[in-house]
Amino acid sequence: MTEIDDSVVSVRYIVDDVQAAIDFYTTHLGFTVHSAHPPAFADVTRGSLRLLLSGPSSSGARATPADTATPGRNRIHLIIEDLDAEIERLRRAGLFFQSDVVEGPGGRQILLADPAGNLVELFTPAAAG
């Protein structure tokens, strides 16, 4: 029996273009390529997050029922030390945000979409006090 590594969390995103997704996550959000098999599949990592990028020809994409193939409200959540600086850096890189900055008791956040429309939440926790 294979031992399961619970120290890594895997999330699957269905993407239209695996290479564009690799470029987006590694160039802009600090992920590292774990394996790449475009156009079908790649996985990128950041800390204990393993993001599975499944293109249209991958088994992961084929397992998704057609009526649920569009991105939903689910998203990965990345903690950012300085949200304002990160927003400015990403805007300078030509990226656009899907929301304005939202502030609540837990902190501040903004939504970004990858090339396939999957959401990424950039979040800075509120100062302890």
**Mean pLDDT across the stretch 87-103?**
94
3 pLDDT higher than 70? no
Taking 90 as the threshold, does the pLDDT of residue 114 lie above it?
A: yes
Contact 43, 35 (CB under 8 A): yes
The DSSP bridge partners found for residue 122 are 78, 110
Give the side-chain half-sphere CA count within 13 A for 102.
12
How far apart are the C-alpha atoms of 56 and 35, rounded to whole Å? 17
Q: How far is Cα of residue 14 from the mean position of the Cα atoms in its chain?
A: 11
Mean predicted confidence (pLDDT) in 35-45? 93
Report which of 20, 13, 2, 16 is spatially closest to residue 51, judged by C-alpha positions: 13
Fold for 9-61+71-125, please state it. Answer: 2,3-Dihydroxybiphenyl 1,2-Dioxygenase; domain 1 (3.10.180)
pLDDT of residue 128: 67
Contact, 42 vs 21, CB < 8 A?
yes
pLDDT of residue 39: 92
Mean pLDDT across the stretch 111-116?
92
Q: What are the structural domain ranges in the chain?
A: 9-61+71-125
